[in-house]
């Protein structure tokens, strides 16, 4: 459920971005919005009733039952997707200014649950958390490669919308 909420939070943030803002402000707005979504998920977990509508007196039990590893992996994947978009835009040598296209930035967030499902199926039972976060970031950065299999002579578009 947390993954869907974070994805929807990212979508809303991208839709609320204003064209007048600089590219850096736009990206920071989306990342802060995602962080706020993560805080919102944690607040619901703390304030909402637990299993079978029993409310515990402390937050320790709720914290123990949260899938922290999965939430961290999903967030690292979203940061990787945003990094790929920025990497592609910065790599364009023709432009003097960085032009933020919210629809191109939005594309990876739409498929993020699918990509995350792929990540979860590939992760072994026991692996260091830092390694899992790096793997998630990497899969977020290469989301396009994971989702699309390019045929011979067919080059997939980068996240900035260029071939």
The answer as to whether 39 is a domain residue is: yes
Tell me: pLDDT of 65 over 70.
no
The answer as to whether 160 is a domain residue is: no
If DSSP states are collapsed to H, E and C, what string results for 76-103? HHHHHHHHHHHHHHHCCCCCCCCCCCHH
The answer as to whether 89 is a domain residue is: yes
The answer as to whether 43 is a domain residue is: yes
pTM of model > 0.75: no
To the nearest whole number, what is the mean pLDDT of the chain? Answer: 74
Q: Helix, strand, coil % (nearest 5) of the chain?
A: 70, 0, 30
The answer as to whether 19 is a domain residue is: yes
Q: What percent of the chain has pLDDT over 70?
A: 71
Q: Which of residues 135 and 12 earns the better pLDDT score?
A: 135
Residue 88: domain span: 2-147
Tell me: pLDDT of 142 over 70.
yes
pLDDT-wise least confident of 23-32, 81-90, 152-161: 152-161
Tell me: pLDDT of 89 over 50.
yes
Whole-Å CA distances, 103 to 114, 160, 161: 18, 9, 10
Q: Which of residues 162 and 68 earns the better pLDDT score?
A: 68
Tell me: pLDDT of 163 over 60.
no
Closest to 118 (Cα-Cα) out of 95, 101, 135, 134: 135
Backbone angles phi, psi at 22, to 5 degrees: -70, 165
The answer as to whether 162 is a domain residue is: no
Q: Find which of 3-7, 9-13, 63-67, 91-95 is predicted with most confidence, using mean pLDDT.
A: 9-13
How many separate domains does the chain show? 1
Question: Could you tell me which residues come within 8 angstroms of residue 57 by beta carbon, excluding any fewer than 6 positions away?
Answer: none
Tell me: pLDDT of 14 over 60.
yes
């Amino acid at each position: 459920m947390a993954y869907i909420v974070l994805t929807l939070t990212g979508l809303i943030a991208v839709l609320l971005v204003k064209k007048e803002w600089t590219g850096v402000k736009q990206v920071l707005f989306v990342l802060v919005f995602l962080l706020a979504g993560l805080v919102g998920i944690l607040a619901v977990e703390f304030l909402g009733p637990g299993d079978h509508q029993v409310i515990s007196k402390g937050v320790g039990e709720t914290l123990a039952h949260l899938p922290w590893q999965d939430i961290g992996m999903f967030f690292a994947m979203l940061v990787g997707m945003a990094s790929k978009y920025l990497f592609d835009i910065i790599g364009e040598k023709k432009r003097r200014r960085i032009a933020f296209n919210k629809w191109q930035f939005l594309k990876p967030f739409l498929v993020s649950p699918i990509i995350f499902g792929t990540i979860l199926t590939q992760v072994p039972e026991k692996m260091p958390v830092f390694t899992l976060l790096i793997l998630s970031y990497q899969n977020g950065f290469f989301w396009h490669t994971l989702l699309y299999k390019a045929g011979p002579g067919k080059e997939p578009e980068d996240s900035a919308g260029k071939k």
